[in-house]
Amino acid sequence: MPSYSRLVTSAFDLTLPELTTRTSAKWRVYPPDVLPLWVAEMDVRPVPAVVEAVSRAVAAGDTGYPGGTEYAEAYAAFAAERWGWALDPARLRRVPDVLTGIAELIGLLTSPGGAVVLSPPVYPPFFSVVEHTGRRVVRAPLGGDLRLDLDALAGAFELAGPGSVYLLCHPHNPTGRLHTPAELAAVGELARRAGVRVVSDEIHAALVLDGSFTPATTVIPDAFALHSASKTFNLAGLPSALLVPGPDATGDLARMSPFAGHGSSHLGGIAQAAALRDGGPWLDELLDSLRANVVLLDELLTRLLPAVSWTAPQATYLAWLDLRRVVPDGVEPARHLLDHARVAVNPGPTFGAEGAGFVRLNLATSPAILTEAVERIAAAVP
């Protein structure tokens, strides 16, 4: 367990009555008596620069189609400051959101009926986007340590065959694991030998709590990555994303449909650019508060639910909890927690069959709400 320091103050200072005035999915899918610790929305106040930029744009009627390179330039500056990653904004391709970018890349790099390799348990929409694009899933499950299983990947790449894609989740959702440079290099070598292209979803890249983030395209030259500030700055309702080619993948962009960027949000780009330029102090406070919540959750589980197994995430604000020793056999844990604790979490099986017995809990909330949720769960299990 990382020895994060505890905070006196927290970025998560909104009360439950304040939060329940929100109308987003997190606060409207379940009844008011349910504590929603499921979908990836954070219980934070907005970045002041985002409020100012979007308000100014709306007041000026600047609500048309996206144009210019402001968003790409802001992301390149952010990447250089946070990771020392030199990006040429002119090489970046804007897409409406990360999943749309993934779908476009699958269509570009594979043929209809082709294979996409996934490493479950993994973000549920990965399965949906593969099906939507008319491709088939080949599974290379994570190892018992919830890290990439290189032997499983080698077998899956051989089964998938040349002209396939490996859809990498980096950092990994739901486990919060960071893939190391050595792991990325090994993935790249396996993919090169098998004729498989790597597409890396790096939407949680800036939410690293323990360790350092290495962009996949700096290790795998012909890979693609998808980046967005939406998770980092809680801007799911103002989406925008950037497709980032590795140095050996830039030529592929010439084959991409001009409609790949159709539907991008002008306000989303304005909001995310403002957050990237001016949200650094806000992000630093958020990361400290997330680290404190990880410590708090570990303390609560140790004291109230010692039979629950978990490993603190290196990144993201998601906790992958093993409830197999807590919930009775034959009972789906997330359903049990909803029915008996009135706490909403994501069911493990939606991340793949490997998630049976697990739940994903969103810990980006106030210490008071997190504490109440764990207390409710403890009271609802044997």
Render pLDDT for 88-130 as a digit per residue (tens, 0 to 9).
999 999 999 999 999 999 999 999 999 999 999 999 999 999 9
- Distance between CA atoms of 227 and 219, rounded to whole angstroms? 16
DSSP states along 259-284 = GGGTT--HHHHHHHHHHHHH-HHHHH
Residue type, 201: D
Residue type, 193: R
DSSP symbol at 161: -
Render pLDDT for 295-339 as a digit per residue (tens, 0 to 9).
999 999 999 999 999 999 999 999 999 999 999 888 999 999 999
Statement: residue 146 has pLDDT above 70: yes
Alpha helices in the chain (DSSP H): 16-19, 25-28, 48-59, 70-83, 98-109, 125-132, 150-160, 181-194, 266-278, 280-304, 333-336, 367-380
Statement: residue 5 has pLDDT above 60: no
Statement: residue 183 has pLDDT above 60: yes
Render pLDDT for 216-260 as a digit per residue (tens, 0 to 9).
999 999 999 999 999 999 999 999 999 999 999 999 988 998 888
What's the chain's average pLDDT? 96
Tokens of residue 275, six digits: 């957050």
Give the pLDDT band (50/70/90) at residue 268: very high
Domain ranges of the chain: 16-46+280-380, 50-278
Judged on CB neighbours under 10 Å (0-12, 13-18, 19+), 30 is middle
The domain 16-46+280-380 is classified under which CATH number: 3.40.718.10, 3.30.43.10, 3.90.1150.10, 1.10.132.20?
3.90.1150.10
Segment 374-380 long-range contacts (CB within 8 Å, at least 24 positions apart): 374/297, 374/300, 374/301, 374/304, 374/305, 375/300, 375/304, 376/35, 376/341, 376/342, 376/343, 377/304, 377/305, 377/337, 377/341, 377/343, 378/304, 378/305, 379/341, 380/336, 380/337, 380/340, 380/341
What pLDDT sits at residue 9? 67
- For residues 319-331, b (16+ Cβ closer than 10 Å) or e, as one string? bbbbbeebbeeee
Q: What is the mean pLDDT of residues 202-215?
A: 97
Render pLDDT for 163-176 as a digit per residue (tens, 0 to 9).
999 999 999 999 99
Higher-confidence residue of 329 and 291: namely: 291
Give the pLDDT band (50/70/90) at residue 28: very high
Class of domain 50-278: alpha beta
What pLDDT sits at residue 329? 84
Say which residues have a Cβ less than 8 Å from residue 23's Cβ, sequence separation at least 6: none
> For the chain, how many residues are written?
382
What pLDDT sits at residue 259? 84
Q: What is the mean pLDDT of residues 259-288?
A: 96
Q: What is the mean pLDDT of residues 340-362?
A: 98
Coil, strand, or helix at residue 102? helix
DSSP symbol at 366: -
